[in-house]
Amino acid sequence: MLNSMMNVNALAMVVKFDALAEVLVTTLIFVVIGIVFFAVAYGILSRIFNIHKEIEEDHNTALGIVIGSIMIGIAIIIAAAING
């Protein structure tokens, strides 16, 4: 039973390469778009708040938590937009 489940030839063509390539290209496009939106959001936040000075020099933990929460929220929104 185990030998039939581990048959490499049976598992090799579960997904056709054409369909897999299409899904991979689409996924990479959405990843790039998501990273661009995330970078733009971080750029906007860094202009609103002086993130580096407040977090690194002044050790403002509260601002770090707020910025992290905003970034997680933006990531969730981007993921929901990508999934449809």
What's the mean per-residue pLDDT of the chain? 80
Q: Where are the domains of the chain?
A: 14-83
Please answer whether residues 77 and 47 qualify as being in contact, where contact means their C-beta atoms are separated by less than 8 angstroms: no
User: What pLDDT shows up at residue 6?
Assistant: 58
Give dist(CA 24, CA 78) in Å, integer.
18
**How far is 71 from 82, CA to CA, in rounded Å?**
16
Count H helices, E strands: the chain? 5, 0
Which residue is listed with tokens 């580096």? Answer: 52
Q: Read off the pLDDT of residues 11-42 as tens digits, 9 standing for 90 and up.
A: 556 777 787 888 888 888 888 888 898 889 88
Q: What is the pTM of this model?
A: 0.60
Backbone φ and ψ for 60, nearest 5 degrees, come out as -85, 95
Q: What is the pLDDT of residue 8?
A: 55
